[in-house]
Amino acid sequence: MKKLVLLLLFFSLATVYGQNPAIQLIPQPVEIQQSDGSFLLTKTATIGFDNQQSSKIAEMLSQKLNLSTGFSIKAQQGNVGSIQLNLNKVPVALIGKEGYTLVSSPNGVVITANAPAGLFYGMQTLLQLLPKEIESKTAVNVPWTIPSVKITDYPRFGWRGLMLDVSRNFFTKEEVKQYIDQLARYKFNTLHWHLTDDNGWRVEIKSLPKLTQIGAWRVARFGQFGERTAPKAGEAATVGGFYTQADIKEIIQYALDRNVTILPEIDVPGHSMSAIASYPELSCTKDTSTKVNPGSSFSEWYDNGTFKMKIDNTLNPSDEKVYVFLDKVFTELAALFPNPYIHVGGDECYKGFWTKDAGCQALMKKMNMTHPEELQAYFMKRVETILKSKGKKLIGWDEILEGGIAPEATVMSWRGIKGGIEAAKMGHDVVMTPTTFAYLDYQQGEQTIEPLIYADLRLSKCYSFNPVPEGVDSKYILGGQGNLWTEQVVTLHHAEYMTWPRGWALSEDFWSPNASKNWANFIQRVEKQFDRSDVEGVNYSTAIYDAIINIIGKAGKTTVSMDSEVPGLDIFYTIDGAMPNKYTPKYSKPVELPEGPVTLRVVTYRNGKQIGHLITLKPEELKKRQTKD
């Protein structure tokens, strides 16, 4: 009887949170109802589409299905397909431009939408309803069943983005396409492309050839970013790369076919060392020895959040040649990218060189400025004018609020949510992308195991993100975005590891109703996505299985408490030098450590098998991490 009650409770919870245990979708649909039976996809199946607007989606689905099934399923116009893709003749207001309905039964599957974007997202849901082998790149012989369901689905936010930084480390055209495929699968619709920074200029500007002849290349260095040696005089710059304008056009079209718009970023006036290495006259110091930074330290950061640059990496806001330069850059960029926005950075701009520059001081006096932050506001307003002349809108990091924001600017709030709240209350549109919830370069698990970086962000924290802060009018919140900075990320394999599964959490934050979110249910679906990713060959982190260890010092005693993100894991530990396993002590309550140089070792198990990494905390690490209760 107890087992029956638990089973009924489990199915009840699954219904409340929108999915039957047999159906594991990310992001979770707005509404899903399951009925008896299933549709068996066979080699005789066809894909029908009702007009030419839906033909491209049908062809894409045909290619995907045939790759893994080995069938020769054809897409053809008409209303007799086993899988039917139809655009509504009369738009359904509820689902908007990106929503869809999906109805599957033993007779087949029908996906309807108001626009091709909705059909594309319906297709992504359909693929997740199929067995995990659908992600195989070679033919697999399994029963290709689709459960009988009725799904009504549409996004919570119009802006659902991931940012890929290709300046710190260059990713090839094909790698960028692979990343686009991955984010589109989970219904992200924006790729924020961080194309320029101190470490490389990645987009061809034909009127300024030195940007890619010089700015796209740096000297070879390995090791921790920020600790590498600076370039030496005469040393060849051989590491890097850039995208030709033909490459850019190809990638943009590839993304548009997958309902992804690309937001290009040219980071100014700070973070401009690659541009200054190419054209030194654009800076205040005009230092001709400036090189593209290979990851060496060129700044000092202080505990109060301020910093000092040792090398000038800022454009000169008082020099008209800078605006001529930017006009050339944005003219060519605007002609390439259909996105209505161009991102202009604006973050971490050091103003110390401006305070010493005669031209900047003369401009401040002429404009009755009292603070150097006003120079950045002046700069951004000039940039906004340039962008408007190209038919584009300005978007930047929340530092653009300092000194007075450009009139029609949109703000990306990254230093927490404060900047976003401030901008929204001023009537500016906002994309929420705070470090506290959305920075995918941060460590995602135990700090002695994860690649070293200065902060952490666990999956559960990502999943708790609500982009609309309390007291803010939601009409100003366009949506949210996760950011992957790549100082420590050299390969696509590593980029995948840092993105997933946290990107899955963000996809649900941005797409699904906030009220439907449930951590325990989400974890079940994450583990199904792990299986699908294994089949496809996409990397991901399993940090959720590792123990969470807190060290508390009180009254001369050291106490250890342990937990895990995944419910129901068994935690085993040792403090006697032995390796932990299921035969060593099992954690059930906080453990008081004995005096002396103790080494704590911890591991997690599920169903009698090790599932988490071994964590070893030596005496010095225990002391370093100790907090006072």
Nearest to 275 by CA among 259, 263, 261, 291: 291
Distance CA 435, CA 415 (A): 6
Q: Which amino acid belongs to residue 12?
A: S
Angle between helices 502-511 and 492-499 (to 10 degrees): 50
* Ramachandran assignment for 445, one of left (phi > 0), alpha (psi -120 to 50 degrees), beta (any other): beta
Q: How many CB atoms lie within 10 A of CB 298?
A: 16
Q: Which amino acid belongs to residue 303?
A: D
6 three-state secondary structure:
helix
Does the active-site annotation cover 281? no
Does the active-site annotation cover 271? yes
Distance CA 9, CA 5 (A): 6
**Rounded alpha-carbon distances, angstroms, from residue 544 to 225, 423, 442:** 26, 35, 14
Contacts of 138 (CB under 8 A, 6+ apart): 67, 68
Contacts of the segment 585-589: beta carbons below 8 A, 24+ positions apart: 587/562
Q: How many CB atoms lie within 10 A of CB 220?
A: 12
**DSSP H helices in 439-588:** 459-463, 492-499, 502-511, 519-536
Q: What is the DSSP string of 549-574?
A: EEEEEETTEEEEEEE-SSTT-EEEEE
Distance CA 278, CA 252 (A): 26
- CA angle 40/508/440 to nearest 5° reads 120
Distance CA 186, CA 189 (A): 9
Strands (E), 374-418: 393-397, 410-413
Strands (E), 6-143: 31-41, 46-49, 74-77, 83-87, 100-105, 108-113
**DSSP H helices in 268-357:** 273-278, 320-336, 352-355
Distance CA 137, CA 67 (A): 6
List residues bridging with 194 in a β-sheet.
165, 265
| Catalytic entry in 197, 265, 327, 441 | 197
Distance CA 589, CA 573 (A): 12
With b for 16 or more beta-carbon neighbours within 10 A and e for fewer, the 576-605 pattern comes to eeeebeeebeebeeeeebeeeebebbbbbb
Enter the tokens of residue 152.
């009504």
**Rounded alpha-carbon distances, angstroms, from residue 53 to 50, 79, 118, 141, 301:** 8, 15, 12, 32, 53
Nearest to 514 by CA among 1, 19, 27, 3: 27
Query: Which is it for strands 341-345 and 74-77: parallel, antiparallel or unpaired?
Result: unpaired
DSSP state of 148: E
| Catalytic entry in 348, 531, 536, 621 | 348
**DSSP H helices in 84-172:** 116-129
Distance CA 338, CA 344 (A): 16
Does the active-site annotation cover 348? yes
List the catalytic residues.
197, 271, 348
